[in-house]
Amino acid sequence: MPQNLKELVAPISDDLTSGAAEIALRAITVFQTVLSHPEDKTAEAIKKSLNQTAVCLVEAQPAMAPVFHLSNQVLTAVEKLDDPDKIKDSTNKVLADFERRLCESAAQIADNVFELIPAGELVFAYSFSSTVVSALLHARQKGRFFRAVCTESRPAMEGRKLANMLADGGLEVIHTFDSAAGLVLSECRACFMGADGISRPGVVNKVGSWMLAVACRELNIPIYAIAGTEKIVPEDRLFEFEKHERPGAEVWDSPSKGVAVLNRQFELVPFSLLSGVVTEEGILQEADIERHLGQLRVHESLSVQSESSSFAPR
């Protein structure tokens, strides 16, 4: 079972170009596969498998909040049950509800973003987020004309995926390399990014988001994170992104001796640099996030262990 689970989760762990919502959908499939395992007959065996799956998924993508929430909701739903069928039913209900809410949420978010896109102007979009893509294409389909700029998002280049999906959806797209963001940003009227996690100090997203937000403030351009409230996590969980260091060889495979190659995927953008977080509930500010945090309950299997990091967050 653990070997099988490892294989099931590996593609999620290796995925550097999908947004957090997409990855949550794939985590639902992993739970469904585990649940259909014929060897798990007793309530105890099923709950143990679900527990291992939850821990394994969260470790695979520690920065991605929806994976944590999905896992947390599954474990919380079944913890007091002792009948195998009820456990399976409850789990399936959590999975179905989560998927439905992700889809409904995306539609509501798209409606909320619409008002933030100035007609006839250029907007900037960073990294890759299916929520951002659906919001921008929804606005285009509703008849708003605008152009989008995006940059490549080294090292995994998920910004190219964003450019192609926006262009295929009928938007005119300008694409350039990441360090040229400042050059094109001065022509933009709004900036959008996704979010992998949201908590007390701010939003965690792809590396580069912080510098982009600082540049936006310098140029007086509003910058929004676009994300469902399923991205809101406890503060200690948010900093799990610091575990997510990738091999340096993915950035450069042949440096001289004496060159250490750093490959971090995520960073924190404090609320002070953001114009707001566009969710299915509307545009949230820091106080709204605090309110959500007050209502969160975390299953003990998913509580965060203490850790250290050489590059502390700002």
- Please report, as ranges, the residues that interact with a second copy according to CB under 8 A: 151-155, 160, 163-164, 167-168, 170-184, 186-187, 206-208, 210-211, 214-215, 218-219, 251-252, 255-264, 267, 311, 314
Strand, helix or coil at 26? helix
Question: Which is closer to a second copy, CB of 180 or CB of 296?
Answer: 180
The CB-of-308 to a second copy minimum distance in angstroms stands at 15
Nearest CB to a second copy, comparing residues 305 and 310: 310
**Complete DSSP assignment for 116-146:** TS-TT-EEEEES--HHHHHHHHHHHHTT---
How deeply is 20 buried, as exposed, middle or buried, from its count of CB atoms within 10 A (0-12, 13-18, 19+)?
A: buried
d(CA 273, CA 232): 18
CB of 273 to a second copy, least distance (A): 9
- Give the alpha-carbon dihedral of 212, 216, 221, 225, to 10 degrees: 40
Please report how close the Cβ of residue 126 comes to a second copy at its closest, in angstroms.
9
- Give the shortest CB-139-to-a second copy separation in angstroms: 16
What is the rounded CA–CA span in Å between residue 23 and residue 27? 6
Closer to a second copy by Cβ: residue 50 or 185: 185
Shortest distance in whole angstroms from residue 105 CB to a second copy? 27
d(CA 65, CA 70): 9
The sign of the dihedral angle between the CA atoms of 221, 227, 228, 229 is negative
Residue (32 or 177) nearer to a second copy, CB: 177
Kindly tell me which of 1 and 251 has the beta carbon lying closer to a second copy.
251
